[in-house]
Amino acid sequence: MTLRDAAAEVRENAHAPYSNFKVGAAIRTASGSVFQGCNVENVAYPEGTCAEAGAIAAMCAAGEREIAEVYVIAQSPAPVPPCGGCRQKIAEFAARDVVVTLATTEGTELRMTVAELLPGAFDASFMEGS
Ligand code: THU
């Protein structure tokens, strides 16, 4: 199964009754494993949890920590950019040159690197010597 197929498959399981906007994400790790996540909303916090965060949580729960590739898909006029929080979460586990593909269900794809998604990222090096 391609990473696109994995993201499209899990998107069907999204719980998005407030936004009616289903998102699917799939992560391939350095070991070759694939982890899937969908957005899950709730009445108190309608923005809920993003698909990317769900895939990252599944990856960590399985004991993996190194993202090799990310694919995000939604039904949208243009590929949907990950929210700020998800950019930071992806950057926690991915090198700067890792490719994040943003896609529409119609087939448009936008490939970006983690560095492009989160320029000027805060990382542990800034805490050196403190
Ligand atoms: N959402 C994601 O899951 N990933 C993104 O990259 C953008 C937004 C979700 C969160 C919420 O459930 C819905 O889309 C509308 O913001």
Nearest atom of ligand 1 to the alpha carbon of 86: 6
Cα separation, 13 vs 110, in Å, equals 23
pLDDT of residue 104: 98
Which residue, by CA, sits nearest to atom 16 of ligand 1? 47
28-51 pLDDT, tens digit each = 999 999 999 999 999 999 999 999
Q: CA 14, CA 11: separation in Å to the nearest integer?
A: 5
pLDDT-based confidence at residue 123 (cuts at 50, 70, 90)? confident
Neighbours of 72 (CB within 10 A): 28
Task: Report pLDDT digits (tens) over 90-112.
Answer: 999 999 999 999 999 999 999 99
Does the annotation count 52 as an active-site position?
Answer: yes
Torsion of CA 34, 54, 23, 52, to 10 degrees: -80
Helices (H), 31-98: 51-61, 84-93
In the structure, what pLDDT confidence band is assigned to residue 124 with cuts at 50, 70 and 90? confident
**Domains in the chain, CATH or no CATH each:** 3-123 (3.40.140.10)
